[in-house]
Structure 1
Amino acid sequence: MDKMRMESVDMTAQNIEKIGSLFPNCITETIDENGKGKKVINFELLKQMLSSDIIDGNEVYEFTWVGKKASIVEANKPIRKTLRPCKEESVNWDNTENLYIEGDNLEVLKLLQESYLNKVKMIYIDPPYNTGNDFIYNDDFKMTSEEYAEEISELDEDGNRMFKNTDTNGRFHSDWCSMIYSRLMLARNLLSDDGVIFISIDDNEQANLKKCCEEIFGAQNFVAQLIWERAFSPKNDAKFVSNSHDYVLMFAKNISQYIIGRLPRTAEANARYSNPDNDPRGVWMSSDISVKTYNAECDYPITTPSGRIIEPPAGRCWSLSKKSFLERLQDNRIWFGPDGNSVPRIKRFLTDLKHDGMAPTSIMFFKDVGHSQEGAQEVSKLLNGGYFNGPKPQRLMKRLLTLANLQSDAIVLDFFSGSASVAHAVMSQNAEDSKQIKYIMVQLPENTDKKSEAYKAGYKNICEIGKERIRRAGKKIKEEAPLITQNLDIGFRVLKLDDSNMNEVYYSPDDYSQGFLNQLESNIKEDRTDLDLLFGCLLDWGLPLSLPYSSEQIEGCTVHNYNDGDLIACFDENIPNSVIKEIAKKEPLRAVFRDSGFASSSSKINVGEIFKLMAPDTTVKVI
């Protein structure tokens, strides 16, 4: 029983807790005057978290590397980018609640910050393992041109710079840590308070990744380091030890709010319970009543029903006091064996278990969750070819979905989507459980090797493989269980990262002329569609990107309606007042128009007056 505090609240400690909830990586420990540990704030790191520039100072041991501060700045730096819809590559565009986003995940995560803040229940990522051969996303972590020159550079078709992080690079671990740190900072913001993140990793960066996660999510929110037995047979040609496992690190956003999903009870587990005495309370299993730690109150003789007197084993005592033992004996919760003459044991009923299902173990054996070859075979069978290296098996993904304890409206995010194993698993789990869990896949459109089987089969980049897998997986799931999958969402909206929809033109006053000013009447890029503009507005307003969408023609003008009035937009030129009034009659929460869509300033003012009169609660903006 806890004692009353009997003193006023420690405001300093409370403030430290508040800062820790916002910036867990800024909380460290020290020793107070009594030699006890206490939490304190790392003010240097806190200053860096609140600054858009690199703050000078020594980076000394906590857990640091060259470029750590730069990775924090990079995560916090704003960007002028947008997500452009691609209906032709989507499936069931109008009604699906799933997203497939193509682009650098650092920039995509930045764009999702407002729309999905605290809304994602589970994140799973399988980032590139730092083996010395994988491409690492090249963010702005380098501080001099000389350092950039040391790297082996490549450009993708969009001009995005990447590099191969070879083990001869003096910053072999630093570059990888910088890459993952900034992304995890942004990912944490998206997790719900009861959310959880799973990260697959191998031995090369496991230790560093755990330290990164302890800083970003808080060491107190560490749940487990799961071990996945990925190989079903040893490698006899291994130089030292045949490595048969990978890790899955598991951190909660707030461990006090996270409730882990438990595994279904197995026949093997249930077989441990029986009812040899026909107890009306059902099946039970027995446990030893003796313990090693001696307690005089628990040292007493017990008389069996047959009259035999039993003392505790030498040097031990019973786990129950005499009073507690007699209470259980009276309640028929002590078992003396079928002959009534055995050493007593406590009866523990299956119905008395505090939780449904079984607690998961830290080791995930391939017989239960599949192995790496199984994952490869799943993709190969679905796509009629081995076009992707290292996909995770569906059974492993489903195990993690179970541990995340997802409800029907949950959102799952994977921002290293690869072959889209998570999307496949979500659809499959939805079909089995009749849920409507939604997913967001994010993947850089990294080109496939022109010599690869994937390229020869027509898959020019990894995104094309992932999208096709989702299409085929969804179709197969419906074909195999048509009766229970009638309402299953197997669609996805494709969105592609691109530069801002708005022109960025800067001229000196001498450059302006009357003819030039006419060219600047529209601040929107010529190649942008209404749908591009609409989704740019969704990001700006912080609305989810997967809600229902429709459009209609009103007097020749195209009017877009997002989620039944959450936002109504019309981007036509010279919109007549009659159309404005029709939109206002719908009383949307938000309305948006093109700034150049009005013939004059007075026309724009008139729009505001119409909404004030007909829909005073509508927020009206222009782009």
Structure 2
Amino acid sequence: MNHKLDLQSTDITSLNIEKIATLFPNCVTETADGKKIDFDLLKQELSNEIVEGNKERYRLEWPGKREAIVTANIPTTNTLRPVREDSVDFDTTENIYIEGDNLEVLKLLQESYLNKIKMIYIDPPYNTGKDFVYKDNFTKDGEEELFESGQKDEYNQRLVANPVTNGRYHSDWLSMMYPRLKLARNLLTEDGVIFISIDDNEVHNLRKICDEIFGEGNFIANIVWQKKYGPANDAQGMSATHEHILLYAKNALEWSPILLKRDEKQLSAYKNPDNDPRGVWRASDLSVRTFSENCYFSITGPDGQVHWPPESTSWRVSETKFKELLNDKRITFGVAGTARPMQKKFLTEVKDGITPQTWWHREFAADTKIARYEMKDLIPENIFDTPKPSLLIKRCIEISAKDGIILDFFSGSATTAHAVMQFNAEEASAGLAQVGKRKYIMVQVPELTSEKSQANKVGYKNICEIGKERIRRAANKIKEEKIEKAKKDGLFSDFKDEQDYGFRVYRLDSSNMHDVYYKPQDYNQGTLDLFADNVKEGRTAEDLLTQVMLDWGLPLSLPIERKTVSSKEVYAVAGDSLYCCFDDGIDEDFAKEIAKEKPLRIVFIDKGFKDDTAKENVKQLLKQLSGGTEMRVI
């Protein structure tokens, strides 16, 4: 270790570069002089306009990259609206299902879920030439964009085909992925991770953009998943029987994998043929493939046979250490005493589990065939072609999330939600975890099903309808299995299922507030009258409540209670964290009553006050009677 003093002051520049790297890892690049800040990219990160730059540097470039960065930075005026009729246990559940373009949704979640997501799993389009990608062109008029990209107004889709013949085949895919991953990184906890399924078409490019966004040092692994057994004989070239799952951490120094439980086969390797009082053990090779002169010596066995390390190797311990192990009866020469020396590894002394590996075979994480059977078991009609097996995602959860929120913003058939519920149920049944420790957020654009598809024929008009129905049926199946197990175990009379099987549905929509397109000089009494009520027609109090929660950075899963105060309807979020009242006729009497509740925050609509005098008086009364209450008006 070097103990010399540097004899120089702190390198402030290097410290500042590291600070910037924490906030904007993609802005740190390599130059001839070492690690430097890419000021062009940093300017781009701090600007809503495209910043030009042409310096040579080591990084991945493609046509549209700067637009992709701007796309992530441009704020959205959209909001989410609750859909009670599609939800299950809306008032009590902490799970969320969101219908809408995931780019817009990720922007809306930035305040409420900043640094709060424990794990992300996504299965994005693989860019096989047959996939659809999102077209995020913010520079064009909304209607023009809808027309050009073939979107449907009622679903606000942004999906366009991306054939191999497209001149921007890779570029369009990268421009779709980059802003979404940038926004996703912000949501992860410091010890959070993201798993991204991908095949060979774009794994090389995905690795590069993830290195930029998450930082090269936060790459954890490229997991190879055996997605099927046996070759596809109609494949051109080699038959692909694997996919990749890239694993990145928000901060690799803060994350370590949860060890996997040993299965019966692994436990069977531990035996106790010599009745050692320390319990079962397995024999471990005493040699290593590297050579160390200090660890190269002969060992004489009980039968007099002399043992040396294999050629070009040595023992893993010194001669002194070996004698200590021998005296402690930690060396075995086999039952007959004639075998090569091995070290005893006692089960009670090894780690509580197995370190995860990067090769996930079918037996460990299921395959696509099992995934299809699993889907058909829930919904017998063949309505979804490419689901992932829930066991695959359960493995991701198993090594990364004992609790917390799990996000999937390419939700598809909602396999991730299924996996979360199933894993929670299994652990609760085994007494290994509190019920409902993990929660999920699913995000899926309501992509229309083809009119010729089986899904469409049996009534599923878009992918979201499939995902929501799968969650409902999976929840019912898990409930039934738990009841059957309780009956079998003779515990049915005491059985109490406290697991959260519900989900709140929200749908992406335009703002609840009217857009003002006029310049001040263009106003007249007629136009002012249009905005006497700044809330759009048809928007409900719950719509407004959701937008307020998002604007104030409150999680959508918080408990919501309806109260009546002075004959006005009041929404109380998370106890006294937030009160909202969107009724008319708000006056001093109401302020005096609500002040007794002492909410931390309270929100009204501008037109809700009895008059301008009442608005000011309510504000002053709240200051006087409930000094800790922050009042806002929309």
Normalised-by-shorter TM-score class: over 0.9
Shift of 1:260: 0.9
1:592 matched to 2:599: no
Match of 1:246 in 2: 243
Match of 2:179 in 1: 182
* CA 619–337 in structure 1, closer or farther in 2 if over 3 Å, else same: same
Match of 1:529 in 2: 540
Partners of 2:609 and 2:615 within 8 A in 1: yes
Partners of 1:152 and 1:164 within 8 A in 2: no
Partners of 2:82 and 2:543 within 8 A in 1: yes
SS of the counterpart of 1:100? Answer: strand
Shift of 1:307: 4.6
Q: Distance in 2 between matches of 1:202 and 1:569?
A: 47
Q: Distance in 2 between matches of 1:235 and 1:316?
A: 43
Alignment match of 2:93 (pick from 86, 91, 96): 96
Which sits farther off after the overlay, 50-59 or 489-498?
50-59
Match of 1:425 in 2: 419
Q: Distance in 2 between matches of 1:583 and 1:545?
A: 23
Alignment match of 1:117 (pick from 114, 117, 142): 114
* CA 304–380 in structure 1, closer or farther in 2 if over 3 Å, else same: closer
Partners of 1:431 and 1:485 within 8 A in 2: no
Shift of 1:140: 1.6
Q: Distance in 2 between matches of 1:109 and 1:304?
A: 66
1:416 matched to 2:410: yes
- What is the letter of the counterpart of residue 180 of structure 1? M
* CA 510–14 in structure 1, closer or farther in 2 if over 3 Å, else same: closer
SS of the counterpart of 1:481? Answer: helix
1:135 matched to 2:132: yes
- What is the letter of the counterpart of residue 522 of structure 1? D
Partners of 1:503 and 1:523 within 8 A in 2: yes
Shift of 1:91: 0.7
1:210 matched to 2:200: no
SS of the counterpart of 2:420? Answer: helix
Q: Distance in 2 between matches of 1:154 and 1:518?
A: 36
* CA 59–98 in structure 1, closer or farther in 2 if over 3 Å, else same: farther
- Written as runs of structure 1 = structure 2, the 5 A alignment for 1:231-380 is 231-313=228-310, 315-353=312-350, 355-380=351-376
Match of 1:219 in 2: 216
Q: Distance in 2 between matches of 1:152 and 1:506?
A: 24
Partners of 2:587 and 2:610 within 8 A in 1: no
SS of the counterpart of 1:238? Answer: coil
Partners of 2:270 and 2:347 within 8 A in 1: yes
Partners of 1:197 and 1:250 within 8 A in 2: yes
Match of 1:394 in 2: 390
- What is the letter of the counterpart of residue 467 of structure 2? G
The superposition leaves residues 3-32 of structure 1 with CA deviations (integer Å, 9 ceiling, x where unpaired) of 476555433222221111111111223454
Shift of 1:239: 2.7
* CA 292–169 in structure 1, closer or farther in 2 if over 3 Å, else same: closer
Which sits farther off after the overlay, 477-486 or 424-433?
477-486
SS of the counterpart of 1:275? Answer: coil
Partners of 2:80 and 2:543 within 8 A in 1: yes
SS of the counterpart of 1:367? Answer: helix
1:405 matched to 2:401: yes
SS of the counterpart of 1:155? Answer: coil
* CA 457–584 in structure 1, closer or farther in 2 if over 3 Å, else same: same
Shift of 1:346: 1.9
SS of the counterpart of 1:360? Answer: coil
Q: Distance in 2 between matches of 1:153 and 1:506?
A: 25
Match of 1:13 in 2: 14
SS of the counterpart of 1:465? Answer: helix
Shift of 1:301: 3.3
Shift of 1:313: 4.6
SS of the counterpart of 1:73? Answer: helix
Shift of 1:152: 7.3
- What is the letter of the counterpart of residue 83 of structure 2? C
SS of the counterpart of 1:432? Answer: helix
Match of 1:450 in 2: 451
- What is the letter of the counterpart of residue 418 of structure 1? G
Partners of 1:568 and 1:583 within 8 A in 2: no
SS of the counterpart of 1:116? Answer: coil
* CA 135–261 in structure 1, closer or farther in 2 if over 3 Å, else same: same
- What is the letter of the counterpart of residue 416 of structure 1? F
Shift of 1:96: 0.4
- Written as runs of structure 1 = structure 2, the 5 A alignment for 1:506-525 is 506-508=517-519, 511-525=522-536
- What is the letter of the counterpart of residue 182 of structure 2? M
SS of the counterpart of 1:486? Answer: coil
Q: Distance in 1 between matches of 2:628 and 2:319?
A: 71
* CA 2–403 in structure 1, closer or farther in 2 if over 3 Å, else same: farther
- Written as runs of structure 1 = structure 2, the 5 A alignment for 1:63-102 is 63-102=60-99
SS of the counterpart of 2:215? Answer: helix
1:501 matched to 2:502: no
Shift of 1:555: 3.0
SS of the counterpart of 1:66? Answer: coil
The superposition leaves residues 370-408 of structure 1 with CA deviations (integer Å, 9 ceiling, x where unpaired) of 11122122222212211112000111121111122322x
- What is the letter of the counterpart of residue 456 of structure 2? Y
1:382 matched to 2:383: no
1:40 matched to 2:36: yes
* CA 290–232 in structure 1, closer or farther in 2 if over 3 Å, else same: closer
The superposition leaves residues 137-195 of structure 1 with CA deviations (integer Å, 9 ceiling, x where unpaired) of 110278999x999x974122435443211111110000000100010000000011111
SS of the counterpart of 1:223? Answer: strand
* CA 476–44 in structure 1, closer or farther in 2 if over 3 Å, else same: same
Q: Distance in 2 between matches of 1:570 and 1:236?
A: 65
Q: Distance in 2 between matches of 1:104 and 1:413?
A: 15
Alignment match of 2:594 (pick from 583, 591, 594): 583
Alignment match of 1:490 (pick from 487, 501, 507): 501
The superposition leaves residues 265-303 of structure 1 with CA deviations (integer Å, 9 ceiling, x where unpaired) of 012212222222222222222233334543332233334
* CA 485–140 in structure 1, closer or farther in 2 if over 3 Å, else same: farther
Alignment match of 1:539 (pick from 514, 535, 550): 550
Which sits farther off after the overlay, 333-342 or 509-518?
509-518
Match of 1:618 in 2: 629
Match of 1:478 in 2: 479
Q: Distance in 2 between matches of 1:244 and 1:481?
A: 35
* CA 346–565 in structure 1, closer or farther in 2 if over 3 Å, else same: same
Q: Distance in 1 between matches of 2:266 and 2:349?
A: 15
Q: Distance in 2 between matches of 1:543 and 1:580?
A: 24
Which sits farther off after the overlay, 302-311 or 461-470?
302-311
* CA 601–479 in structure 1, closer or farther in 2 if over 3 Å, else same: same
Unaligned runs of 5+ in 2: 429-434, 487-494
1:601 matched to 2:598: no
Shift of 1:517: 3.0
Q: Distance in 2 between matches of 1:144 and 1:102?
A: 23
- What is the letter of the counterpart of residue 102 of structure 1? E
* CA 562–308 in structure 1, closer or farther in 2 if over 3 Å, else same: same
- What is the letter of the counterpart of residue 333 of structure 2? F
Which sits farther off after the overlay, 360-369 or 77-86?
360-369
Q: Please provide the CA RMSD for this pair.
A: 2.4
Taking structure 2 as the reference length, the TM-score comes to 0.92
Which sits farther off after the overlay, 568-577 or 186-195?
568-577
SS of the counterpart of 2:256? Answer: coil
The superposition leaves residues 495-554 of structure 1 with CA deviations (integer Å, 9 ceiling, x where unpaired) of 111111111123355654435433322211122111111111101100000111111222
* CA 485–70 in structure 1, closer or farther in 2 if over 3 Å, else same: farther
* CA 84–303 in structure 1, closer or farther in 2 if over 3 Å, else same: same
Shift of 1:351: 2.0
Unaligned runs of 5+ in 1: 33-37
Partners of 1:394 and 1:425 within 8 A in 2: yes
Partners of 1:210 and 1:249 within 8 A in 2: yes
- What is the letter of the counterpart of residue 376 of structure 2? S
* % same residue: 51
Aligned residues: 613
* CA 30–510 in structure 1, closer or farther in 2 if over 3 Å, else same: closer
Which sits farther off after the overlay, 391-400 or 286-295?
286-295
Alignment match of 2:164 (pick from 163, 167, 170): 167
Partners of 2:572 and 2:580 within 8 A in 1: yes
